[in-house]
Structure 1
Amino acid sequence: MEVMGFKLIAILGFVGYAIYWLYGMLDLYWFRPKKLEKCLREQGLKGNPYRLLRGDLYESAKLLREAHSKPIQLGDNIVKRTMPEVYNSVQSHGKNSFMWIGRFPKITVTDPTLAKDALVRHATFHKSFHDLDPLIHILFGGMGAVEGEEWAKYRKITNPAFTLEKLKSMLPLFQSSCIDAVNKWTSVIPEGGAAEVDVWPGVESISATSISTSLFGIGGEEGKKIVGLLKELANHTWEKVNSVYFPGKRFLPTKSNLRMRALDRELRVKITDIINRKLKAMQAGESGGADFVGLLLESNLNEIKLQGNQKSAGLSIEDIYAVCKLFYWAGQDTSSTLVLWTLVLLSKHTEWQDRAREEVLQVFGDKMPDYDGINHLKIVSMILNEVLRLYPPLAELSKVASEDTLLGKYLIPAGVQVMMPQILLHYDPELWGDDVLEFKPERFSEGIMKATKIQGAYFPFSFGPRMCIGNNFALYSIKMAIAIILRTLSSELSPSYVHAPIRRVTVQPQYGAHLILRRLKNHN
């Protein structure tokens, strides 16, 4: 009887736990999302009804496949191709609407004032990584994922590597990379003739080599290998962002999961080896070098000394690895896409290409572009600002409310995501005028502040305290690349050019970029 009683208690205990677990799952994946949906609808926000687990991901994936199946015309609104799910949601439910990312609603904010407010309030609106596969932290870990005091420590230690003086010392490394790439292009162009070239691989090579030398002080081939690994990792990460995650999915031995871990292991070996070599040199009394890693390690050691040699005050080797990996990928991807779309647009709008070239030759003459002269390239700056409006490196920024908070008139419950799609704001005729689709660099002739009707409508490198720390480096290096290319080559669109921007974290060309290149006389 005692045994029977024990078994009954055990069975009842198991049944009770099963009911408790089942209710917890129902609460997590049904009751809470429905409660959040009710809260948003009561405030006038519209969106699709919540669907268990998948949310809107299935429909979003279908819209992406349809959008990517056919190219568009250069000058069309690229939002329909790069973010068709967001475009469709806004058209169906209004500018301030919501979508479902798994079990969490994501509010689309197209009011520049609200977007600016959310980006400034970084203590309330955090990075939106919840309900996503934890494997994305392989790429976005470290400084890209932390908040509060931890983020402040990262920022304090990395800041010294991005002062203007440090930037000035790194630009010559970028200059030599640009010259090498341009020489490769000119080598296939016959004397007095022209050649069709897919410039996308060359532009990626410029960025890969320059980022490798300026960040790590390493040679081209080793750097290109790291960039290749990071590019593959970014593609896998993008797939994870756009898929439904359920607990334990990251542990499944899928091809993608295994490959991401393998990429992390290989990158860890390569990057930590560079870090350790520099640390060893510094311990021997040598300089860590003028590259980013050397400057970062020097800043880290200074911070540790400043705090009484408490290692907790600085970054660990693992932290530095994560920072280097993130900066390596972000710097290379951002630079390459901005240079690429600038070349494409100048190849179509050759009058602006001529004006930019005239300015470059006027500022530098027969000399190679340098730091001081870059500051005087007003027309090139206007062009880059307009390219960033039409082709921002990141199409949107998302944050998650860490607590119940007001954003304008809306109560944002804790856990709800807020998406600021800068690409949608950059294409809004109410903010830019009826000529919003046109390439018009003159919009920025009086600077960014006067280019749009409402401040906060333009933020290609984010906004507020968490604005991209490397944006000055990116813009200076890209201006140098454009200046070197313009003084050497002229370009126009090839008849075989296919305009097909696609979102792979950054906005990239799906089928490359085929241009007709010609060598300019007396500028070899």
Structure 2
Amino acid sequence: MVLGGLMCPATVPWSLLAYAFLGLVLMWQVGRLLHRLWWLPRRLELALRAQGLRGTPYRFLTGDLREHGRLNKEAWARPLPLRCHDIVPRVVPFLHNAVREHGNACITWFGPTPKVTITDPDLAKDVMSNKFGHFEKPKFPALTKLFSDSLANHEGEKWVKHRRILNPAFHLEKLKRMLPAFFACCEELISRWMESLGSDDSYEVDVWPEMQILTGDVISRTAFGSSYLEGRRIFQLQAEQTERLMKCIQKIVIPGYMSLPTKNNRKMHQIKKEIDSILRGLIDKRMQAMKEGESSKDDLLGLLLESNMRHMEENGQSTQGLTIEEVIEECKLFYFAGMETTSVLLTWTMLLLSMHPEWQDRAREEILGLFGKNKPEYKGLSRLKIVTMILYEVLRLYPPVITFVRQTYKQMEIGGVTYPAGVIIEFPVLFIHNDPNIWGSDVHEFKPERFAEGISRASNDRGAFLPFGWGPRVCIGQNFALLEAKMALCMILQRFEFGLASSYTHAPHTVMTLHPMHGAQMKLRAI
């Protein structure tokens, strides 16, 4: 207020206090950022280096992301020779250089967070089996919210509850009932290829998108039964969401980036909203049918809802089960885990059998000996020895998930090193699967016979085969994936022989999983 050209003295202190308060808030926020982005990383770095660990120096805010991107760009521009399975330098060039320069336990930086890479399989098993405790999955709430806040991200009692409710859906007896759905989807694929054959009974096709379509259809049928066409739309949306999320992965270290109204962020929120809407409709219809006395179906959604109701009845409280929102999130996980990993496995299997036709012939001979050209059934699938050896060797050389990560939330000792809270521990499966000290001097060769006596005798370390993880958090869908892969491979080898097309370029790289960068072009010939 102004009186006679002078400011009222009573107003001066309040305005000064307001400015002072705003200044303090600003200083507090700046202090928090400096602590998170500079002082804490430097303190963690000093604590790790004091114990003899070596690695890259911390760079403010971005850490090693810029160098990581630069080396990826350089390596991914150079394809590998055909039949070359030494893929580590191309797939993860930054990590390859870091381990070579700084040792098998080395420090790198994911933005302001230190990441220690450990290539010892025994330590990997100990941490993933939670032998030491005090480890959990790294938290990226913004990404989790947009993709899937499901079993894979939960910890503690919440994880135990979700795993207990989900387990019955993946029991082997339940999976056997899904074989007709596996067969129907594979039959559609085979029919489509047969109709595309030229006058010479051959057909050139990129099998990478074909395998994605196949496994997307399989998970749509096995998750939602008769509603699989609606499920197919979810598969398409999830695929787009994955691509968009990967564009953001290097920017999430910037505080608040995922909340910015960028075009990509807005589109991801729209996709999430559409996926949630479709899933909510499917779940509501199924729950209503079950309330009206309709028996639950043998698809994953029906089995999940049945297990959830039984869990609530046994505990006597509805709060003990999964909410609709939690069921939605678990259905999203069905899609990514069920579609992505199996399509990767099948694509690399066909590529490697094209590069090594002698193993393609051996697999076909085994399949025709068991089934002829008839429908593969479970008993026969469980007796496939050569096919199983081939799938294991593909998973060793080209694991869909190339690394597992955990984060310390308390001070913890691993392998004689004390790690403070807030350190990411990374176990690179791809490195462990390519270690000549574990697998022998022929580690980079495609030799399925190394699994002739099973996984435990394939190397000199019984636990060095980790394509599905290890311990209590081992992939819940591994039996589903292997059964589906066996069915698909049997039906393809019964009808076709295949080799690489001249346009194929051997260029494995990572998106979320290990993809063929330029596709998987093959020439199929009917037999």
TM-score (norm 1): 0.95
CA contact (8 A) 1:403 1:413 kept: yes
Residue 133 and residue 322 in structure 1: after superposition, are their counterparts in 2 closer, same or farther (change >3 A)? closer
Alignment partner, residue 82 of structure 1: 91
1:117 pairs with one of 111, 121, 126: 126
1:433 pairs with one of 432, 436, 440: 440
* Structure 1: distance between partners of 2:489 and 2:29: 59
CA contact (8 A) 2:251 2:257 kept: no
* Structure 2: distance between partners of 1:291 and 1:468: 19
- Between 1:11-20 and 1:370-379, the stretch displaced more is 11-20
Residue 419 and residue 218 in structure 1: after superposition, are their counterparts in 2 closer, same or farther (change >3 A)? farther
* Structure 1: distance between partners of 2:43 and 2:15: 39
Q: Does 1:352 align with 2:362?
A: no
Alignment partner, residue 460 of structure 1: 467
CA contact (8 A) 1:490 1:519 kept: yes
Q: Does 1:491 align with 2:491?
A: no
**Aligned-partner residue type, residue 193 of structure 2:** W
Deviations 1:398-446 (A, max 9, x none): 1101211111111111110000110111111111111111100001011
Residue 421 and residue 137 in structure 1: after superposition, are their counterparts in 2 closer, same or farther (change >3 A)? farther
Alignment partner, residue 288 of structure 2: 280
Alignment partner, residue 100 of structure 1: 109
Alignment partner, residue 138 of structure 2: 128
Superposition pairs for residues 168-187 of structure 1, below 5 Å?
A: 168-187=176-195
Following superposition, the deviation at residue 10 of structure 1 comes to 4.5
Deviations 1:107-163 (A, max 9, x none): 00101111111111174211112xx46134321312221100000000010011011
* Structure 1: distance between partners of 2:36 and 2:101: 28
Following superposition, the deviation at residue 256 of structure 1 comes to 1.3
CA contact (8 A) 2:219 2:334 kept: no
Secondary structure of the residue aligned to 1:400 is: strand
Alignment partner, residue 27 of structure 1: 35
2:421 pairs with one of 398, 414, 418: 414
Superposition pairs for residues 312-331 of structure 1, below 5 Å?
A: 312-331=319-338
CA contact (8 A) 1:406 1:412 kept: yes
* Structure 2: distance between partners of 1:157 and 1:193: 49
2:341 pairs with one of 312, 334, 337: 334
* Structure 2: distance between partners of 1:476 and 1:270: 28
Superposition pairs for residues 109-508 of structure 1, below 5 Å?
A: 109-121=118-130, 123-129=133-139, 132=140, 134-190=142-198, 193-218=201-226, 221-308=229-316, 310-508=317-515
* Percent of paired sites with the same residue: 42
* Structure 1: distance between partners of 2:110 and 2:523: 42
* Structure 2: distance between partners of 1:313 and 1:412: 35
CA contact (8 A) 1:125 1:402 kept: yes
Following superposition, the deviation at residue 220 of structure 1 comes to 5.5
Alignment partner, residue 513 of structure 1: 520
TM-score (norm 2): 0.95
Secondary structure of the residue aligned to 2:44 is: helix
* Structure 2: distance between partners of 1:334 and 1:15: 51
Secondary structure of the residue aligned to 1:172 is: helix
Following superposition, the deviation at residue 96 of structure 1 comes to 0.9
Following superposition, the deviation at residue 6 of structure 1 comes to 4.5
**Aligned-partner residue type, residue 36 of structure 2:** L
Q: Does 1:69 align with 2:52?
A: no
Deviations 1:379-401 (A, max 9, x none): 00000000000110101011101
Q: How many residues align?
A: 517
**Aligned-partner residue type, residue 38 of structure 2:** W
* Structure 1: distance between partners of 2:454 and 2:473: 22
* Structure 2: distance between partners of 1:219 and 1:185: 25
- Between 1:253-262 and 1:242-251, the stretch displaced more is 242-251
* Structure 1: distance between partners of 2:277 and 2:148: 18
Secondary structure of the residue aligned to 1:376 is: coil
Unaligned stretches of 5+ residues in structure 2: 1-8
* Structure 2: distance between partners of 1:142 and 1:418: 21
- Between 1:190-199 and 1:30-39, the stretch displaced more is 190-199
